Amino acid sequence: MTPTISGIFNILATPFDLQGQVDLESLRHLVEFQIDKGVYGLTILGVLGEAGKLSVDERQTVMDTVLRTVNRRIPVIVGASHSKLETSIALARAAVQAGADGVMIAPPPMDKPSDDDIIRLYATIAEQVDCPIVVQDFPPVNGVIMTAEMLGRLPSVVPNARYLKLEDPPLMEKIAAIRARTDQFEIFGGLGGMFLLEELQRGASGTMTGFAFSEVLVAVYRAFIAGDLAGAARIFDHYLPLIRYENQQVVNLTIRKELLYRRGAIAQPTLRQPFVPLNPGTDDEITWMLKRVGIDDPRQTIHFPA
């Protein structure tokens, strides 16, 4: 039985030690940390999981470690995007063999593909990968624009591809355009969770993002699906300055890893090159931002506004 793929999925960071090697102990601890925060699932080896900085062997090690640690408690989606389609398919098949609950794949760079080109691409993948496919719509990664018209057709042509990670602004307008064409997609937002509440109101099924305080997004989602829109908005609005600050372009992952480090979720906030390090002003701003939203000690349990 395929587990439910909806709700709040954390895009898992990949921890590195001070020498820049994958820190498996921290990785296992981070998995337990996110499960403890109530996430509905994990998405690993995404863009902000630094998958592009890992060798194929390292990707396999990260995947195996996460799947063993999770041990079927929550679903795990494995990123399998690659610039070469055959490599992407091989990564996806390895994920299925290892026990992943689905794979997330963005199209490789293509020269102005038509809607039919993209549908054929996912049909080709689905012929060789027998599991749910999360279609990643994130043009900055590959330059590929996916139209709402094409996405409205895709799940009826490729039944495995009924999940969409949408990060092509304006998000809410595109969600509505897709929803007007099909109800077969489970749509997930992203972009650090900055528009989670609006996405849910437009018909999203959840979000896949790496925001370091995932329990905040879980609380917003739970209030929303319980019909408490006012409560969901109260929580969301309270923490929105922190969500916004973490998701700055260029330094978003640097800030996210620093926050996870301050929370005790990972042993070091190390990133692999290329990355932009924190400067002293940003480091001070993180402390100030935490206090602004009432988080004096990020290692302690967060108490949400009533």
Mean pLDDT of the chain: 95
Q: What is the mean pLDDT of residues 220-245?
A: 98
Cα–Cα distance measured from residue 220 to residue 216, given in angstroms and rounded to the nearest whole number: 6
State yes or no: pLDDT of 242 exceeds 90: yes
Mean pLDDT over 61-80 rounds to: 97
pLDDT at residue 6 in the model? 95
Q: Which fold has domain 7-232?
A: TIM Barrel (3.20.20)
Residue 2 is predicted with a pLDDT of: 63
287 vs 266: CA distance, rounded Å:
18
Mean pLDDT calculated for residue range 60-74: 97
154 contacts: CB under 8 Å, gap ≥ 6 = 118, 119, 122, 135, 161, 185
The residue assigned the tokens 């601890």 is 29
> Each residue of 97-152: pLDDT tens digit?
999 999 999 999 998 999 999 999 999 999 999 999 999 999 988 899 999 999 99
The amino acid occupying position 100 is A
- For residue 42, what is the enclosing H or E element? strand 41-44
Helices (H) and strands (E) in the chain, counts: 12, 8
Per-residue confidence (pLDDT) for residue 254, from 0 to 100: 97
Neighbouring C-beta atoms of residue 75, cutoff 10 Å: 21
**pLDDT digits 0-9 by tens, 243-295:** 999 999 999 999 999 999 999 999 999 999 999 999 999 999 999 999 999 99
Q: Look at residue 1 and tell me whether its pLDDT is greater than 70.
A: no
The percentage of residues in the chain with a pLDDT greater than 70, rounded to a whole number, is 99
- The DSSP string of 80-129 is ---SSHHHHHHHHHHHHHHT-SEEEEPPPP-SS--HHHHHHHHHHHHHH-
Strands (E), 128-226: 133-137, 163-166, 186-189, 206-209
CA distance 118 to 127: 14
d(CA 294, CA 305): 10
